[in-house]
Chains A and B, each alone.
Chain A
Amino acid sequence: MTSFSPPDASAPQAEDAVETRARQEADDPHSPVARFGPSKPLRLDAGVLLPDLQIAYQTYGEPNAARTNAVLVCHALTGDQHAASLNPVTGKPGWWETMVGPGRPIDTDRFYVICANVLGGCMGTTGPSSTNPATGAPYGLDMPLVTIRDMVNAQAMLLDHLGIEKLLCVAGGSMGGMQVLQWAASYPERVFSALPVATAARHSAQNIAFHEVGRQAVMADPDWRGGHYLAEGVMPYRGLAVARMAAHITYMSDQALHRKFGRRLQDRAMPTFGFDADFQVESYLRHQGESFVQRFDANSYLYVTRAMDYFDLAADYDGVLANAFKGSKTRFCLASFTSDWLFPTDETRTIVHALNASGASVSFAEIESDKGHDAFLLDEPELFAIAHGFLDSAARAFGLPPARGR
């Protein structure tokens, strides 16, 4: 996600191709889709029914005969269902291939792994860029606001559709971790074990503030057109790119930025005394912004950041987080990273204390890393060892046969 490559002056045609693919994915994705039709609407926290729900998902591995080896992977803000398979829009590998695959901690030789695009997303699950069946045009801002709980309720419908009664594990980082916590609170009987990484039980004021900066950048772009840009044939590229640039800084640590770029200049020996991208770090951020806007829908960015802002699990349980996990039989394993200042260890520790207070079984490890919040997506052998040990122990306790010798 953060490997450095200079911005390429890629041909406009190639860019168009990426965008065209991205637009196609919203309604007709390159992955299996569950369509629920008007008879099975999703009741949203916003107080309205969402008819014609569509969920795009990927699966890896095979279900066992009793369908007891299912692991649900939940993606983060700008992720998608392609956790461990080639992304059809970018052509890049899945976003969690370090964690999911044959012989990986979430071992697809052993487990049936499901990953769905979130509600409000733009990769085939119903979201603001999907076609509203009532009008034949994209929803845009007519799409009701969604919450993390709505996302989880939609995933529960998908599991019913796939015939999965109980999950061996729900795993995810960042916003994916929020979904994991919501799963454990909303459907404790369906979750045998939970692996939330680099996350929080509520979005902090600082994080809401960062999101607001991003949304304002999108909405300040004249091409946003009050959210009707798709109908008017334009895209708020500049606003969304700025939003992504600002957000990207929060995913990294000061140390990681220094290690990667320091104060080095970009393809020049001297500063230009202008506002070009003199510094490598500027060039890198511009590249991140540019490539992001080709694959992600601006309104989706508004909706999904909003869902994170609204997340406050304790608020649904009289302000006491422990009550969210009262009597929970779920086994939990939490991990945080020392240099993550977006979802710092203290947020995880708050969850651990609540789980202790509720009597749940919990493991918690803080992993030393200088890679910031992004660490959960990167090569972190300690995370892999912990996830592997936790899942293996959960699988055995759940009655699955031991892993074949590897």
Chain B
Amino acid sequence: MALPEETPYAGAPRRGGVRVDLVVVSEMVKPGSRVLDVGAGDGALLELLATTRDCDARGIELSREGVNGAVARGLAVIQGDADVDLAHYPDDSFDYVILSQTLQATRRPRWVLEQMLRIGRRAIVSFPNFGHWRSRLDLLVNGRMPVTENMPFRWYETPNIHFCTIRDFVALVEELDAKMERAVALDSSGHRVRFNMPWWVWNLLGEQAVFLLSRKG
């Protein structure tokens, strides 16, 4: 589910050479777990999970270049479409199903989330927050769809067809009756927004959000 090469993450905040949002995601994964990364891109997160968390990490990726590169590096990635292919995985076949910076590019985000919570005991979702103050300001002041480092495409060429805000996502999680185990918002320099702040502050200051979800009961 591919974020094309010339995207966002070239200038994204990094820690030890690795994108901070990927580090935050990987830290939510218990070592030795079975992980499915939906929208695996070039396999950066899979590699991180395999090397730092000793995971059995597998991926699905839409773009041929992404897949071929990842497989050539020895990673278990299949070319496929999350909007279709998740249906073929049995219940509870992974400890974690991860959707990293991909939710907004799916055709059926709600269905994808449901599938993730069916296939995995836990789901980890990270996405760019459309409710960030700069996006709001762009719309308010310029009257234009925002174009930022995390959302670098103009409206007519973006693969991101389902943007949401942190508040929107929280509402969907409640609708799906999933449990929110952890939530992290990162500001534009990759620092965590303090967790004791209310949602509306997160929604303003968080440029990216990472959620760890599980099924209730």
Chain A residues lying within 8 Å of B75, measured Cβ to Cβ, are 363, 389, 393
User: 3 tightest A-B contacts by CB?
Assistant: A393-B74, A389-B72, A364-B78
Q: Which of B56, B68, B88 contacts A357 (CB 8 A)?
A: B88
Residue of B nearest to A338 (CB): B64
Size of the chain B interface, CB-CB below 8 angstroms: 20
- Cross-chain pair count, CB within 8 angstroms: 65
- Binding site of B, secondary structure by majority: helix, strand, loop or mixed? mixed
Whether, in the assembled complex, B79 has its beta carbon less than 8 Å from a beta carbon of chain A, the answer is yes
Assess whether B68 is in contact with A386, with CB atoms less than 8 Å apart: yes
**Residues of A close to B89: CB separation below 8 A:** 356-357
Inter-chain CA distance A366–B81, complex, in Å, is 13
In the complex where A359-B90, A382-B68 touch, is A364 in contact with B74 (Cβ < 8 A)?
A: no
Instruction: Report how far A367 CA is from B93 CA in the complex, Å.
Output: 28
Min Cβ gap B42→A in Å is 13
Q: Which residues of B contact A333 (CB under 8 A)?
A: 71
Q: Judge whether A390 and B78 touch: CB under 8 Å.
A: no
Contact (Cβ within 8 A) A386 B88: no
Interface 1/0 per residue, B61-104 and A, CB below 8 Å: 00010011001111111111000010011100100000000000
Contact between A357 and B72, CB atoms less than 8 A apart: no
Q: Mark A372-394, 1 if CB is under 8 A from B, else 0.
A: 00000000001001101110111
B74 contacts which chain A residues (CB < 8 A)?
389-390, 392-394, 396
Indicate whether B58 reaches chain A with its CB closer than 8 angstroms.
yes
Q: Tell me if B68 and A364 are in contact (CB < 8 A).
A: no
Contact A365 B85 (CB under 8 A): no
Q: At the interface, yes or no: A361 with Cβ under 8 Å from chain B?
A: yes
Minimum C-beta distance from A367 to chain B (A): 7
Contact present for B85 and A389 (CB under 8 Å): no
Given known contacts A359-B93, A366-B64, A382-B68, what 8 new A-B pairs fall within 8 Å (CB)?
A: A349-B80, A352-B80, A356-B78, A356-B89, A364-B79, A365-B68, A367-B64, A385-B72
* Interface, chain B (partner A; CB < 8 A): 56, 58, 64, 67-68, 71-80, 85, 88-90, 93
Specify which of A353, A361, A388 is in contact with B58 (CB 8 Å cutoff).
A361
Also in contact, A362 and B90, with CB within 8 A (given A333-B71, A388-B72) = no
A368 vs B58: C-alpha distance when bound (angstroms): 23
Q: Is the CB–CB distance between B76 and A386 below 8 Å?
A: no
Cα(A367)–Cα(B67), bound, Å: 10
CB of A331 closer than 8 Å to a CB of B: yes
Task: Enumerate chain A residues within 8 angstroms of B79, measured Cβ to Cβ.
Answer: 364-366
B58 neighbours in A (Cβ, 8 Å): 361-362
Size class of the contact patch on chain A: 20 to 34
In the assembled complex, the Cα of A237 lies from the Cα of B85 at a distance in Å of: 48
Which one of A357, A359, A389 lies within 8 Å of B71 (CB-CB)? A389
One of B64, B67, B73, B88 near A353 (C-beta < 8 A) = B88
**For residue A349, which residue of chain B has the nearest CB?**
B80
Question: Could you say which residues of chain B place their CB within 8 Å of the CB of A361?
Answer: 56, 58, 76
Q: Which residue of B lies closest to A348 (CB)?
A: B79
17 pairs from A and B in contact (CB 8 Å cutoff): A333-B71, A356-B88, A356-B89, A357-B90, A361-B76, A363-B77, A363-B78, A364-B78, A365-B64, A365-B67, A382-B68, A386-B72, A389-B72, A389-B75, A393-B74, A393-B75, A396-B74
B71 touches A386 (CB 8 A): yes
CB neighbours of B88 from chain A (8 A):
353-354, 356-357
